[in-house]
Amino acid sequence: MPQHAPGAASRQLRIVHCFRSPVGGLFRHVRDLVRAQTAAGHEVGIVCDASTGGAREDELFEEVLPFLRLGLQRIPMQRQITPTDITTLTRLYRRIGALDPDVIHTHGAKGGVYGRAIGTLLRVSGKRVARIYCPHGGSLHYDARSTAGKIFFGLERVMEWMTDGFVFVSRYEAEAFAAKVGISQKPFRIAFNGIADEEFEPLPEPRAPRADFLYIGMMRDLKGPDLFIEALARLRDRRGVAPTAHLVGDGPDTERYKALAMRLGLGELAFHPAMPARRAFAMAKRIVVPSRAESMPYIVLEALAAGLPMVATNVGGIPEIFGAASDRLVPPGDPAALASAMERLIDHPDEAAEEAALLRGSIADRFSIAAMAATVDEVYTLALGR
């Protein structure tokens, strides 16, 4: 095993990305890093849960497989803490250890525990490996005063001594970690999620007339699809006719949201399984991001790059994306405020289009995959040099 020195991340590394759930923004972040790191000459692999994801995630794995020189390892991992974690940790230790990594880059709370524990065991056995952690929101969304919050943040404090460097995807995430877990003396960088140049290209022509609004994301309350449905019902009551809308995504609560739509007299709402974001964008004139909590949501960046007028909530790193326009964000958990902001986009289409164009121009230089990968590389260099 070669010994690394400061600046070692400029040399070829063996990098293993370890996380539980291959869905959403976390999975996109990893896929983008895999491509960028492979292009830079590193050997990269992925270790993640075998039981999470659907047809869309299978397609995304097929796309990224050619870049995984260290392969793809999928092992069942439970979301909650259970006795099976010991068995899972043992299996992961064997799989990851066999890859002889220089860097174990962990993502999310569960992946962070598994990967950093395995990196520590490998170091005890004499191998030099950098243990990197990126929370991606995850446990940071818990209230520090709650029982769950106390447990998770206590665990994070224990895991801090098993960490050689941190990556945060937003200033919000870094500040939340410092406030809820504590200020770490380990090196860290803020690596904003990045998007590709082609995502700024015009959207494909739709096959059918565009709906008034789109929701795209996980079907779970944290992302707020229930608030979106309630806001549509309020607009129907105000205007006498319901706006047309598509809801795109997978998740455990899809049937509950369909039942909510029926109960509110919105049975005509169209629900779709997960699909490529730009295909979904072409289905609607405007997009709504009604999240109750976020870190640095890709969907906001992707939709703004595509030029869609947007209503979004004032949570997580979204104000960092909107910048000077963050005063247009709406409070989370407030369907009335959400409905009013959506109505403004309908009633003032020229103003909405102008705002969308300004936001599109403002993100091009600030949120790139190249910048994200370069910042992560800095953390590797610092961690390997310690």
Amino acid identity at 122: L
Distance (Å, rounded) from C-alpha 324 to C-alpha 301?
16
Retrieve residue 109's tokens.
């709370």
Answer yes or no: do 163 and 222 share one domain: no
Encoding tokens for residue 328? 């247009």
Q: Give the model's pLDDT for residue 365.
A: 86
Whether residue 2 lies inside any domain: the answer is no
Query: What's the domain count of the chain?
Result: 2
The answer to whether 164 and 383 are in contact (CB under 8 A) is: yes
Q: Identify whether residues 266 and 183 lie together within a single domain.
A: no
Q: Specify the pLDDT at position 9.
A: 56
1 inside domain: no
Residue 119 is encoded by which pair of tokens? 């990196």
Same domain, 358 and 373: no
Instruction: Give me the domain span that covers residue 359.
Output: 198-363
Residue carrying structure tokens 């997960």: 274
Q: Considering the chain, what is the average pLDDT of its residues?
A: 93
> Would you state the structure tokens that stand for residue 345, as one six-digit string?
């986009």
Q: Does a structural domain hold residue 312?
A: yes
CA distance 230 to 245: 12
Rounded distance between C-alpha atoms, residue 30 and residue 36, angstroms: 10
Pull the structure tokens for residue 350.
């020229």
pLDDT tens digits, one per residue of 13-26: 999 999 999 999 99
Residues 217 and 235 in one domain: yes
Residue type at 66 in one-letter notation: P
Asked if 25 and 100 sit in the same domain, the reply is: yes
Position 110, amino acid: K
Is the domain of 318 the same as that of 235? yes
pLDDT at residue 29 is higher than 80? yes
Determine the residue type at 310. M
Partners of 18 in the beta sheet?
Answer: 47, 106
Task: Supply 45's token pair.
Answer: 């692999």
Question: Residue 147 is part of a domain; what is its CATH number?
Answer: 3.40.50.2000
Phi-psi region of 138 (alpha: psi -120 to 50; beta: other; left: phi over 0): left
Whether the per-residue pLDDT at 224 is higher than 90: the answer is: yes
Spatial contact of 130 and 122, defined as CB atoms under 8 Å apart:
no
Length of the chain: 386
Q: What is the CA radius of gyration of the chain?
A: 21
Euclidean distance between CA atoms 35 and 115, whole angstroms: 21
Do 142 and 22 fall within a single domain? yes
CB 194 within 8 A of CB 376: no
Indicate the range of 83-87, 233-237, 368-372 predicted with least confidence. Answer: 83-87
State yes or no: pLDDT of 349 exceeds 70: yes
Same domain assignment for residues 95 and 203: no
CA distance 340 to 333: 14
In a domain? residue 59 = yes
Q: Give residue-wise pLDDT tens across range 166-186.
A: 999 999 999 999 999 998 889
